[in-house]
Structure 1
């Protein structure tokens, strides 16, 4: 395996960087957010382009300046529920401004945590593995209804066609995963590109059945600028939205720290406290850039650790090249337009499978712990609260104070608070459940 400091030829680094970009499903999160919020086509294009731009700049900063490890940045699934809740509570007029305002303050808080060197201790105390695994489990669980109901059953268009498109997309994804597991060498292509292949085939079927028009793609310019949040939406600072997002950022830092440990293990690079704190600062700066660019938080992407294991290439040059590709793609309007034109039902079929994998990954983290009786409640109560929040009637939510509405709009925030409090309050025992 190559080392992080190995100097690859420029052409080779460019090809390997493009491979990393194509293997990352960075485009999925902004499309999902735009779909959940009901954004128009132009706003959807803007958030896709902004995500590519923020991911590119963040990747270059983390790899070359802060962590100095081969780390790629990409949009995380964790904030989806909180963003949707904040947008819904603030209303369409102030929704995006409130979302980006809370994201900006949260990112600045992350930078301060890195400067003061306190984040590792905070994570160790308040978000150990049992809590982190519980939160990740509830991330997947809380998003399943949105994937199936909002994106398929209640999406625009013919219901039967939507169900067919969602089923086809999910089936293609499963076939790609099966090929990846069945055929070791050739299957890697299908496994790494499973989401992209599923979206392409699903969109192709939609075009064949007349469920999609590519006129908007043809009319879109090749070169266009992202819709920066400051100039397009403005920034609105709501204390309750900020508090909700601070909780989400704590969860995000737990997730990305796990990614750093994975990359550290694969590349045989020591993850010292100094490197960890530099990474936190880099993460915060990346998220500041994302919020100003009009994108959601970009964090360390675990997919790349797997790609390093498969290819044996850990050179930082390849990752910096991936960052350059990201920045370049952020200004190609037709790419953003094509991604934005994907029907909701196609996204829903893929997203449903992704939600399940997120949930199972969380349970896998939990299963690695010595399972004491207290852990039943640390895991179980947040699951109940997540489902209760997802199923809660809108009429009941509207009768609560605004801060409570923000929390009720984010099942993940509620489950995170519950898991953290239960872990602190439930007495510890030495007896594990057989």
Structure 2
């Protein structure tokens, strides 16, 4: 048995009920179907909107026709399924992490892709995506040479920023979805808060599969509650077809140096986010940090999927922060749980009718079901951050990096004034993660180390949002 497998086998919470399959808390072994289905589907339901929404937004930015919008959503679903499978079952043992992580088309690339799509066109965006995939593969291959740039201080700071950056996303969902006609209405908040109440109750007071599948069951209840409010529309399901394959090379790929350089930098920064998500998921569910090989494999898989996606007119993939929170909260790490989620994504991409069924889920339900786990991500960032002690040096790196990252992201147009090149805002002004990560890397590299005693850590496991002090002891 490998070291990683041995570690995973000891990762089961002491509070696991006797009627729940212990194989869920191991990387290998096929769990019972009655446990596999809800634990897999809750990952799908928590991330599904995050897969299709970026595709829809890029379609709007590039002026797509309805057929083109349907095609990019289809590719997003299929590529998300492929990426998840690579991460759980690494190709040749090297392309993929082999860690509990859910990946797919996400919001991580959205701001930069929108900017490039608006400034150029979609074929140019695909060319830059192909180059970005190559950059990611190279970064994964040589990660061992640059890993010193990403100690716990840097990754913890980035994870904290990721968690805080996700809060507005959850609130927008709960309020009805940005741009909706009744955004912020009482009906949206009623459904969102009721869904949150269900997931909170199940996660903290439920037992067995109800506890581990709290997101899944809360979404089902949320959908039922939302029906009287007229939030569920089944017309798209009836109109959708049963089977459709993605089209190869639907667009002519164009290469523009400025777009390629811009997205090349963005890919590196998103890879830093991926490292942070992998660290949070691994530390929180397996009580260890990922190895060089695992991180390098995850990054290379992202690059490979990005290259494939560019040939099918799709978007690149990254890790889902909200699902990291779920993994840390329930500590379910069985690879077939994530494989089940991949199967649903693939099926939804190849079967538009299934995709339309998942699209029925109202946004307030998704927001209410996932907001709890966003706080978990932030707390995990803090736990990783203080792993080596919260020294004055660590506070300086953390405080300044977060200030730049969140400050620039929250002030619209702060990098678009007279004399400021457009590419600066494209790279640094569209996401809090990029300026935060760059600042953390720079400050950690230039500040001299401190002499300090090793902290007395009880264990590495980050606090999950439904843990009690007794369970941590």
Matched, 1:183 2:206: yes
Aligned partners of 1:382, 1:367: CA distance in 2, in Å?
Answer: 15
Counterpart for residue 112 of structure 1: 138
Deviations 1:194-238 (A, max 9, x none): 1x444444444444223453322221112233477x426956550
Question: How many Å apart are 1:416 and its aligned residue?
Answer: 0.8
Counterpart for residue 80 of structure 2: 55
Aligned partners of 2:234, 2:42: CA distance in 1, in Å?
Answer: 25
Map 1:353-432 onto structure 2 (within 5 A). 353-394=372-413, 397=416, 399=418, 400-406=420-426, 407-431=428-452
Aligned partners of 1:263, 1:187: CA distance in 2, in Å?
Answer: 19
Question: How many Å apart are 1:308 and its aligned residue?
Answer: 9.7
Equivalent of residue 340 in structure 1, options 339, 359, 372: 359
Counterpart for residue 233 of structure 2: 213
Counterpart for residue 169 of structure 1: 192
Structure 1 residues 395, 93: closer, same or farther in 2, change over 3 A? same
Aligned partners of 2:149, 2:295: CA distance in 1, in Å?
Answer: 18
The CA RMSD measured in Å over matched residues stands at 4.2
Contact 1:133–1:366 (CA<8 Å) still a contact in 2?
A: yes
Structure 1 residues 187, 43: closer, same or farther in 2, change over 3 A? farther
Q: TM-score, normalised by structure 1?
A: 0.76
Structure 1 residues 253, 272: closer, same or farther in 2, change over 3 A? closer
Aligned partners of 2:415, 2:299: CA distance in 1, in Å?
Answer: 39
Map 1:100-139 onto structure 2 (within 5 A). 100-115=126-141, 118-123=142-147, 125-139=148-162
Contact 2:159–2:380 (CA<8 Å) still a contact in 1?
A: yes
Question: How many Å apart are 1:306 and its aligned residue?
Answer: 6.4
Aligned partners of 2:327, 2:159: CA distance in 1, in Å?
Answer: 19
Structure 1 residues 345, 46: closer, same or farther in 2, change over 3 A? farther
- Size of the alignment, in residue pairs? 414
Matched, 1:155 2:179: yes
Question: How many Å apart are 1:355 and its aligned residue?
Answer: 3.6
Contact 1:66–1:282 (CA<8 Å) still a contact in 2?
A: no
Contact 2:306–2:317 (CA<8 Å) still a contact in 1?
A: yes
Structure 1 residues 46, 177: closer, same or farther in 2, change over 3 A? farther
Question: How many Å apart are 1:323 and its aligned residue?
Answer: 4.4
Aligned partners of 1:277, 1:67: CA distance in 2, in Å?
Answer: 11
Contact 2:176–2:182 (CA<8 Å) still a contact in 1?
A: no
Contact 2:161–2:378 (CA<8 Å) still a contact in 1?
A: yes
Contact 2:39–2:213 (CA<8 Å) still a contact in 1?
A: no
Q: TM-score, normalised by structure 2?
A: 0.71
Contact 2:212–2:330 (CA<8 Å) still a contact in 1?
A: no
Deviations 1:334-357 (A, max 9, x none): 222233344444444455444433
Secondary structure of the residue aligned to 2:91 is: helix
Counterpart for residue 256 of structure 1: 278
Structure 1 residues 173, 70: closer, same or farther in 2, change over 3 A? farther
Matched, 1:74 2:102: yes
Structure 1 residues 280, 387: closer, same or farther in 2, change over 3 A? closer
Aligned partners of 2:302, 2:145: CA distance in 1, in Å?
Answer: 17
Matched, 1:240 2:262: yes
* Structure 1 segments unaligned to the other structure (5+ residues): none
Structure 1 residues 364, 173: closer, same or farther in 2, change over 3 A? farther
Contact 2:40–2:340 (CA<8 Å) still a contact in 1?
A: no
Contact 1:57–1:323 (CA<8 Å) still a contact in 2?
A: yes
Aligned partners of 2:125, 2:372: CA distance in 1, in Å?
Answer: 27
Aligned partners of 2:375, 2:241: CA distance in 1, in Å?
Answer: 37
Equivalent of residue 243 in structure 2, options 190, 200, 223: 223
Deviations 1:29-54 (A, max 9, x none): 21442466584876665455334322
Structure 1 residues 149, 283: closer, same or farther in 2, change over 3 A? closer
Question: How many Å apart are 1:371 and its aligned residue?
Answer: 1.0
**39-48 vs 204-213, which moves further:** 39-48
Aligned partners of 1:32, 1:84: CA distance in 2, in Å?
Answer: 12
Structure 1 residues 306, 415: closer, same or farther in 2, change over 3 A? closer
Give 1 or 2: higher helix fraction: 1
Question: How many Å apart are 1:366 and its aligned residue?
Answer: 1.5
Contact 1:98–1:241 (CA<8 Å) still a contact in 2?
A: no
